Amino acid sequence: MPGLPPVVAPPAELVDAPLTASDAGTPVGAVLQQVLDERLRHCRAVDPVFAQELADRLAALVGRGGKRLRAAFAHCGWRAAGGSGDATAVLRTGAALELLQACALVHDDVMDGSVRRRGAPALHVELARAHQAAGMHGGAEAFGTSAAVLAGDLALAWADDLLTETALGTPHGRCLHEEWRAMRTEMVAGQYRDLRAEATRSSSADEALAVATLKSALYTVARPLALGASLAGADASVLDTLRAAGRCAGLAFQLRDDLLGAFGDPERTGKPADDDLRSRKLTYLLSVALQLSDAADDRQAAAGLAPDAHPRSGHAVRRARAALERTGARDLVEAKIEELTDLSLGHFERTGAHPAVRQEFASLVHRATGVAPRRAEEVA
């Protein structure tokens, strides 16, 4: 249509200076902001009401950031596979991962009924409040939920656009897109298994690990590593080794997130610390606690962790938290995180990556899992 700005974002400035994975967050943020500015200009040209009330709010959520872990792991995978020089493509891939993460967060908050995200009201809550403030007709909660689903869809569209543009501009675009396509399907499969586990009130450790693998391990670490390595033309052996390293690190990351969901400080995590316990969300932590309470014939702990017909009260949440401690589940999961972290570092070492890159990976895994990094000489 005449008068509309181009949909394709302008190319990011070339980044030729060497970057470590930990340093990559700042230039990824700059690329991401450039992409968001372009997308928002297009949204305003399409419809100013939609742009102001939905697209701007989505962009604000993305702009509030996070750890940028997926982008950093993509950069680390690129370096592990020998990537050097112009990092534009890997930075744009990292920005696409951040947009996909925004989609996942918005939809996940809707499905879980979470009220806060990144230190602010969750998007569906913010949109419901806007409905009320404007005196609109109908239910504010239903409006907020529906609008947030659309916002998540918009984030996914932006992510796909950016990844496609990047793939078209690199000789390794087909491999890049194959990793991206697999990751999107795995993410949705993980979300569904999560929903299903809650609906069936499952307590299975195997199911908890299946959800954690699909929803987090592959999506957070394994696929980002492979996406970055694809841009460097990595062969199948290196890609497989990176995926193995990422699967272990990603599982450790999810287990840490489970612990934070039960024991974390909301001031530090930016989200409530009792949502998982209030809804009795299936986690490996919960399944282990149930197994331990059964083995010890600890009926008090089992009762505190049993399914409830309704969301739990504050008292019931405190009982569940105490049961996780008393059964030893918390300590066991901490040990599992350390074991998975060591396995991940061992897999990564087999890529043959330069010692400095291995140290970068160890540092990223530390950020993700909370496990103290080994000394540089141990990693090297």
Question: pLDDT digit string (tens) for 126-137?
Answer: 999 999 999 999
pLDDT above 80: residue 105: yes
pLDDT of residue 327: 92
**Using CA atoms, how far apart are residues 107 and 184, in angstroms rounded to an integer?**
14
Q: Where are the alpha helices (DSSP H) in 47-139?
A: 48-50, 56-63, 69-80, 88-112, 123-133
Domain boundaries along the sequence of the chain:
22-379
- Per-residue pLDDT, averaged over 243-259, amounts to 95
- Answer with the residue of higher pLDDT: 375 or 324: 324
Residue 57's pLDDT is 96
pLDDT at 273: 63
Residue from 315, 258, 246 nearest 289 by CA? 258
Quote the tokens at residue 166.
Answer: 């990047």
Q: What is the pLDDT of residue 198?
A: 86
The pLDDT value given to residue 30: 92
Residue with tokens 């249509």: 1
* pLDDT confidence band for 3 (50 / 70 / 90): very low
Global pTM value: 0.86
Question: What type of residue is 20?
Answer: T
CATH of domain 22-379: 1.10.600.10
**Binning pLDDT at 50, 70 and 90, where does residue 2 land?**
very low
CB distance 175 to 232 below 8 Å: no
Q: How far apart are the first and last CA of the chain?
A: 56
**High-pLDDT (> 70) share of the chain, %:** 87
Cα separation, 230 vs 290, in Å, equals: 41
Across residues 334-353, what is the average pLDDT? 95
Backbone angles phi, psi at 81, to 5 degrees: -90, 10
Kindly report, residue by residue over 59-84, the tens digit of the pLDDT.
999 988 778 899 999 999 999 999 88
User: 48 versus 112: which is more confidently predicted?
Assistant: 48
Please state, in angstroms and rounded to a whole number, the distance separating the CA atoms of residues 302 and 280: 13
Q: pLDDT band at 6, cuts 50/70/90?
A: very low
Residue in this structure with the two tokens 């569940």, named with its chain if needed: 320
